[in-house]
Structure 1
Amino acid sequence: MTPSDLPSPTYHRTDATFSSQGEDCAAWLYRPAAAESPRPCVVLAHGLGATREGRLDAFAGRFAAAGLNALVFDYRYFGDSSGQPRHLTSIKEQLKDWRAAVRFARALPDVDAHKIALWGTSFSGGHVLLTAADDPDIAAVISMNPFLDGHTTLRSTPPAQALALSRAGLRDVARAALNRPPYLVPAVGGAGTRAAMASDEALQGFLAMFPDQEPPSTDISARILLRLGMHRPVQRAARVGCPWLLQAGTTDNITPVDPVRRAVQRAPHARMSLYEGGHFAPYVGAAYEKVVTEQVDFLREHLH
């Protein structure tokens, strides 16, 4: 067993599965070892091309230790969830998976259906905005290093890289038209690679999430790269009416801080916190301790 599979004195984890449009989304359900029911529940999923194996247990475990349920899931086509073709990346379908996860969490017998919080990171940091904007019953939202405005991200992408990614996207669209398997590109890679996030800092940060094991593939279908520049969740920030914590890195050039500032200005109950470092800093080390402590305090404040 891996360390996250071992019993904890404060919580336990079980496998779960829920349905989303006929596909099975694999999940982990964290429950406090000793707490009154029903309890609030935090729903978590990862960013572009990533799965729950990428340190989401570190966050869910802290929430469960604080007395909260936590549901961590993989999108269809990724990780242990079903769906073909593998690695197909669709914003529309991932948002449907979020809604299905919330429905599943609300129906659990030891969950307070009126106290559901959403937790998103990077690409899913925008997904939780959009989910909460459409669901006024969400009690709280956390967006960590969130992707909120594709226009801003596109402007910070070197022209040569943007051109190469566009070509990859068109190649994937052509394969889809011929009913062929997706053309895949890595979500994360070193500088000069054809990855969506191509920098040595990004690659090192990703590898740091898996210090004792071979890191998983981050492959994604390249057609999503044609959509990223037009994907602007920040435009709906004003519709998030619940308490909302946004955490941004001081040197994050993948999801820059400016859209976070705009979201905070527009949403009635949003607040921003900065951590030192780039896009992958909050998953490990000192930045992780800072952001997860803030998250636990925020959830205790608004869910208890």
Structure 2
Amino acid sequence: MTEREDVVFASGQGSARAHCAAWLYRPAGGHSGRTPLIVLAHGLGAVRTMRLDAYAERFVAAGYAALVFDYRHFGDSEGAPRQLLSIGRQREDWHAAIAYARTLDGIDPDKICIFGTSFGGGHVLAVAADDARLAAVISQCPFTEGPASALTLGPRATLGVTLAAIRDLAAAARGREPVLVPLAGAPGETALMNAPDVVAGYLGLVPETETIVNGVAARVGLAIPLARPGRAVKKISAPVLFCVCDTDTVAPPGPTLKYAATAPKGTVRRYPFGHFDIYVGDAFERAIADQIEFLHREVSV
């Protein structure tokens, strides 16, 4: 049994400053001493209700606390305009979440770990390279190489995303609402992800009782192909677990394996599954078991 409460923390500066909504989980039973904590956040346009609670509950059952947050502009967090996906702002949110976690009563500030998946799996690599105090990093089916992910779209969809991004930037310059591009689309459709398993896999993570906006401000379509968070791996001093899906159609495994080999303290676990398979069923069970084993080895409870 776990204890969960709703909390908020501030992130950003000036007009971009807003509160991120989060769930704080603590192990039940009143543990003595200070507890290690894992900060978790999701991938491309995804929110915490899309199965991150399942990970948090397993980590807490293993003796850790957990802080699960939504990025600014998404989910239950503040931030206008809505559905604005900024790589820089999301990484600021990670640093703000970590700083907040270190202030919590009963939490060991020197045993903060971070878990990111998909696009968030790339964020945690960049964030960990800038924070040597972190105790451990879990990067699941991570986005590590923008050009490789961009190539999965095909030329027609790439052109569509580029044109939408230009329209979105023009709208922003005029103070208008963002022009959205779909997150998940069928093969050949204009979307940020359009592999055959994307629509069922991505939207299948949404609880039946909820709806999400299947779209983000299209301007990020110009930033994704240029992003290479895997380059930060060689600068990470903390132990890193890379959970790699061998048949990943969204974040190709080849670049991730190449980058993982440069980690000073890297561990790789590979799974014969696709990008969205790892969140559910047998793939989830295998991955979460490896993640807990890694945490117990690197960050004692």
How high is the TM-score relative to the length of structure 2? Answer: 0.95
User: Partner letter of residue 195 of structure 1?
Assistant: A
Given candidates 44, 49, 59, the residue that maps to 1:48 is: 44
Given candidates 112, 115, 118, the residue that maps to 2:111 is: 115
Structure 2, unaligned stretches of length 5 or more? none
Q: Verify: 1:27 aligned to 2:29, yes or no.
A: no
String of CA shifts for 1:179-208, please: whole Å, max 9, x gaps: 111001221122233221113311111233
Task: Give 3-state SS (helix, strand or coil) of 2:54's partner.
Answer: helix
* Aligned-partner Cα distance in 1 for 2:225–2:195: 19
* Aligned-partner Cα distance in 2 for 1:226–1:161: 13
Q: Verify: 1:234 aligned to 2:230, yes or no.
A: yes
Give 1:209 shift: 1.9
Are the equivalent residues in 2 in contact too, given 1:248–1:260 (CA < 8 A)? yes
* Aligned-partner Cα distance in 1 for 2:172–2:94: 25
Given candidates 238, 243, 246, the residue that maps to 2:239 is: 243
User: Partner letter of residue 30 of structure 1?
Assistant: Y
Given candidates 72, 77, 87, the residue that maps to 1:76 is: 72
String of CA shifts for 1:208-249, please: whole Å, max 9, x gaps: 323633442232110000011110011121001111000111
Give 1:160 shift: 1.0
Task: Give 3-state SS (helix, strand or coil) of 2:102's partner.
Answer: helix
* Aligned-partner Cα distance in 1 for 2:208–2:82: 26
Structure 1, unaligned stretches of length 5 or more? 1-8
User: Partner letter of residue 163 of structure 1?
Assistant: L
User: Partner letter of residue 37 of structure 1?
Assistant: G
Are the equivalent residues in 2 in contact too, given 1:175–1:182 (CA < 8 A)? yes
Please, which moves more after superposition, 14-23 or 98-107?
A: 14-23
Task: Give 3-state SS (helix, strand or coil) of 1:165's partner.
Answer: helix
Q: Verify: 1:255 aligned to 2:246, yes or no.
A: no
* Aligned-partner Cα distance in 1 for 2:172–2:203: 31
Are the equivalent residues in 1 in contact too, given 2:36–2:64 (CA < 8 A)? yes
Are the equivalent residues in 2 in contact too, given 1:27–1:72 (CA < 8 A)? yes
Task: Give 3-state SS (helix, strand or coil) of 1:47's partner.
Answer: coil
Are the equivalent residues in 2 in contact too, given 1:260–1:272 (CA < 8 A)? no
Task: Give 3-state SS (helix, strand or coil) of 1:83's partner.
Answer: coil
What residue in structure 2 maps to residue 6 of structure 1?
Answer: none
How high is the TM-score relative to the length of structure 1? Answer: 0.94
- Matching of residues 141-180 of structure 1 within 5 Å: 141-180=137-176
What residue in structure 2 maps to residue 222 of structure 1?
Answer: 218
Given candidates 124, 129, 134, the residue that maps to 2:120 is: 124
What residue in structure 2 maps to residue 61 of structure 1?
Answer: 57
Give 1:82 shift: 0.6
C-alpha RMSD over aligned residues:
1.2
* Aligned-partner Cα distance in 1 for 2:65–2:102: 11
* Aligned-partner Cα distance in 2 for 1:265–1:210: 34
* Aligned-partner Cα distance in 2 for 1:172–1:77: 16
Q: Percent identity?
A: 43
What residue in structure 1 maps to residue 196 of structure 2?
Answer: 200
User: Partner letter of residue 10 of structure 2?
Assistant: S
Give 1:273 shift: 1.0
What residue in structure 1 maps to residue 264 of structure 2?
Answer: 268
* Aligned-partner Cα distance in 2 for 1:172–1:208: 28
Aligned residues: 295
String of CA shifts for 1:78-112, please: whole Å, max 9, x gaps: 11111110001111111111000000000001110
User: Partner letter of residue 70 of structure 1?
Assistant: A
* Aligned-partner Cα distance in 1 for 2:24–2:258: 34
Are the equivalent residues in 2 in contact too, given 1:17–1:26 (CA < 8 A)? yes
* Aligned-partner Cα distance in 2 for 1:84–1:221: 11
User: Partner letter of residue 150 of structure 1?
Assistant: G
Are the equivalent residues in 2 in contact too, given 1:185–1:194 (CA < 8 A)? yes
